[in-house]
Chain A
Amino acid sequence: MRMSTDTVNKDVPPQEDPAAIADGWADAYTPEVNVYEPHRTQVPPLLPYVRELWRRREFAVEMSRMRLRSQHYGTMFGTAWLILSPLMLGVVYFVLVDIIRGGNRPAGFFTHLLGGVFAYYLFSDAVRPAARSVTGGGRLILNTAFPRALLPLSAVIVSIMRFLPTLPVYAVLHVATGRPVGIEMLWAVVVFAEIVLFAAGVSMLVAAGQVYFRDLKEFLPYLMRVWLYLSPVLWYADEVPHGYDFLLYVNPLGSMLTAWSEALNSATTPGLDWLLIGLAWAVGAFVAGGLFFVSREREFAVRL
């Protein structure tokens, strides 16, 4: 069975006798039967969809690997950019914030900011390319039947691949600036998973949205910039003045990045509320984004 198809049994209208079809057509030479029928905006059977998706996971991995390689192909520093660019970004933000704060920085602020920037870019580096993943997949989409969710998801994989090399950088700076080290830091893995899940959900949402609204990708850079400023990256969560603390709750990344900093930077067990709110956002975004994408994806080919 292939994806984006319905098995013969499922969508046979009741007035047609499925037995007649099986009798006439199915035999030893027909390992697969596909029926294509008018597309209604509806979620296809999820289990077969996920199975097809899983069967083609190699595609997403290979695609991400090639994308990553081609991004830095022929540049002066090559793959060193994977470390250089987030590091430089972190330093720029630090200098900026340090000047604004007049030089009085709370304890561990540099590593808080750096870790936050790395985590934030894990999110935004997935979402921005994902927006273009479907509309830019022209030939592949027009000529091959496969679960389209592979396209935004491989953008997420690229982002993870870009994120991982920044971890050793963070570790070195964390130790060098004398931040505490402890087993509680492992909570960061949970937060990492939340961020990835959330990024995947938002990626699928914008990838499908871009098909209908071609200027979405024009908005995204601004949205991403503002989102960064509204997240506890350039400031500490507990510095938030009264009246603004709702930001940490309504901003999905607010709770995740708060927990992230508590675990990674302070080596403490993050607040359970942050973890749970983050989890709720992540699961919610993944389910909503996934269902929206999957219910629309059969339409993509006629709308490219």
Chain B
Amino acid sequence: MSSLSASDVRPQAAPAPSAPPAAIKVQNVSITYQSALQDRQTLVGTLSRLRRRRKILREVRAVRDVSFEVPRGTVLGIIGANGAGKSTLVRAMAGILPPTSGRIEVHGRVSTLLALGVGFDRKLTGRQNVVLGGLAAGLSREQLAAKYEEIVAFAELEEFMDMPMRTYSAGMYGRLAFSVAVNMEPDILLIDEALSVGDAHFKRKSFDKMRELCESAHTIVLVSHGMNAMRQLADEVLWLHKGQIREYGPPREVIRAYKRFMRVEDDDQTAEEDV
């Protein structure tokens, strides 16, 4: 280990006060899924294909050559059509998907709220999911015990914690997921579509919580289809289109361009269908 940490202990020059250091640096990152989408990937299949030399792995290039930086303490919004690669990109920043090429640097403790991700096993209760999720994320039992009440109180799901998560409504599910993520005291919070599920009351609450986190110098990456929230929360917005950055800049401009673009595409499609 000692040999690995050599540059961690290197004397550090004071960071330039004018430019806050980036919390996340994404450099020329491409991510390709390799899935046997059509045929099932089987031993028998592979053996028979070895003779015929056919390749059935279907590659999906979900993210293509994307580079950007997220300065510490800022909120980056990511928008884009379904399947644009938003979730994929966020998973890569969380260290879950290895980039196929390129390089990602993350400075700080990451907490993820990916596609409503606490409940990995819907047969287990809310409590068990929170505990298992927290332990997997590396919290100790004591840390979890200390946070547990807070998480439940924030989600306002006291009566439901001992019910299997399959009995939860989509909104309850999302509330618990959001509550877990924000109460992990992360330096960097990655949120993939969670603001949309709560009711008006919880939306307000989660919105305020996000504001609070952002003001306490947290770095947040927020994926959402909700343009209003995006406009209010994000400092910068990145528009992904088919895995590539289409635009990057101040929320208002990018969102305006995005909306215009979507409408045009819609029109195009309907026009084509009419023909």
Contact = CB atoms under 8 A, between A and B. Distances in A.
Contacts of B124: 66, 70
Interface in A131-161: 137-146, 150
Contact of B136 (A29, A34, A144, A219): A144
Contact of A29 (B103, B128, B187): B187
Interface stretch (A36-44, A92-100, A116-124, A229-237): A36-44
Interface in B108-155: 108-110, 112, 114-115, 117, 119-121, 123-124, 128, 131-133, 135-138, 140-141
Given A27-B15, A38-B99, A139 B117 contact: yes
A2 B112 CA distance: 13
B176 to A, nearest CB: 14
B167 interface: no
A10 B1 CA distance: 10
B271 interface: no
B245 to A, nearest CB: 18
| Interface size class of chain A, counting residues whose CB lies under 8 Å from the partner chain | 35 or more
Contacts of A137: 120
Contact of A22 (B10, B40, B98): B10
A137 B33 CA distance: 17
A9 B91 contact: no
B8 A10 contact: no
| Dominant secondary structure of chain A at its interface with chain B | helix
Given A138-B120, A142-B117, A302-B31, A58 B135 contact: yes
Interface string B164-188: 0000000000000000000000010
A301 interface: yes
A18 B7 contact: yes
A219 B43 contact: yes
B228 interface: no
Given A27-B21, A30-B108, A146-B136, A19 B114 contact: no
B35 A303 contact: yes
Given A5-B95, A24-B15, A301-B96, 9 more contacts: A21-B7, A26-B10, A29-B107, A30-B107, A32-B107, A33-B105, A55-B138, A141-B96, A143-B112
